[in-house]
Amino acid sequence: MRYVSHLLVFAYQASIRVRGKIFSLLISGAFARFGRNTVLMSPLRLSGEERIAIGDFVFFGPDSWLQTIPDGDNKSVAISIGSRSSASGACVISAVRSVTLEESVLLARNVYISDHIHRYADTDVPVMAQGVDKIQPVLIKRGAWLGQNVVVCPGVTIGQGAVIGANSVVVKDVPDFSVAVGAPARVVKAIRSPESKIARNCCITQDKPLK
C-alpha cells in the first residue's frame, strides 16, 4: 500500500509540473520577454503582460497576480523579473512604470510589491475610481528574500542578500546584507559586511528555481 501511495504522489506531482510547463509555454509569447525553463503556475491573474519581462528558470506559484497599469504612451517594460527568482504563490506585483527584481530573488507566499498607491484625497469619489498616485520605482536586488505577507511600498530599494521578515511593511530602503522586520520595517541585524568574499558570492547559481 505504501508503494502505491508513493506512486500516486509521484504521479500527482508530475502532472502538476507538466500542466505548469504547458500553460507557461502557451502564454509565453504574450510577454515582452519570457525566459527558458520559466514556469508560471495557474491559476494566474495577468494584465498588461506585454510590459512584463521574465528571465530564465523563474518560478511563480499559483494564485499570483502580475499586473502593469497603462501609463499613457509609455510602452516600456514595467515589471522585470530576473533569472532564477522564485515566488511560492499568491504573490502580487503591480507596476505603472518600474518594479525590478534582480536575479535569484526569493518571495514567500502573499508578498505584495507595487510602485504606486491608490489616490484617496477626493471624498466624493470611491478610492478605486480615483486612479493611482506616488509612482516611484521599486528595486529588489539579487539574492534578497522576502518572507510571508511582506508589503513593499513605492520608491523602495531592498539591498542585495537582504532578508525581510514575515508580515513586514517596507516603506524605506533596506541596505545590502541586512535583516529588516516590522511595520514599518526597520533594520535589526547586519548579516555580514558587503565587502566580504562570502557576501559577494551569496547567490549560488542553480539549475532550476526553488519550488
SS (H, E, C) 67-120: EECCECCECCCCEEECCCCEECCCCEEEECCCEEECCCCEECCCCEEECCEECC
Separation between Cα atoms, residue 105 and residue 68, nearest integer Å: 20
Contact 203, 142 (CB under 8 A): yes
- Residue 196 inside a domain? The answer is yes
Q: How many CA atoms lie within 13 A of 24 on its CB side?
A: 23
pLDDT the model gives residue 211: 41
Q: For the chain, what is the domain count?
A: 1
Note the pLDDT tens digit of each residue in 120-168. Answer: 999 999 999 999 999 999 999 999 999 999 999 999 999 999 999 999 9
What residues of the chain score a pLDDT lower than 50? Answer: 198-200, 203-211
Does some domain include residue 101?
yes
What is the DSSP secondary structure assignment for residue 26, as one 8-state letter? H
> What pTM, to 2 d.p., does this model score?
0.88
Enter the C-alpha cell of residue 108. 514567500
> Domain containing 88: what range?
2-200
Asked whether residue 76 is assigned to any structural domain, the reply reads yes
CB burial string 169-186: b at 16+ within 10 A, e below: ebeeebbbbbbbbeeebe
In a domain, 189, yes or no: yes
In a domain, 143, yes or no: yes
Contact 110, 62 (CB under 8 A): no
Say whether 13 sits in a helix, a strand or coil. Answer: helix
Q: What is the pLDDT of residue 8?
A: 87
- pLDDT confidence of residue 201: 53
Task: For residue 113, give the CATH number of its domain.
Answer: 2.160.10.10
**Could you tell me if residue 177 is inside a domain?**
yes
E strand or H helix at 179, and its extent? strand 178-181
Residue 128 maps to a domain: yes
What would the grid cell of residue 143 be? 539574492
The answer to whether residue 161 sits within a structural domain is yes
Distance (Å, rounded) from C-alpha 104 to C-alpha 168? 20
Active site residues: 118
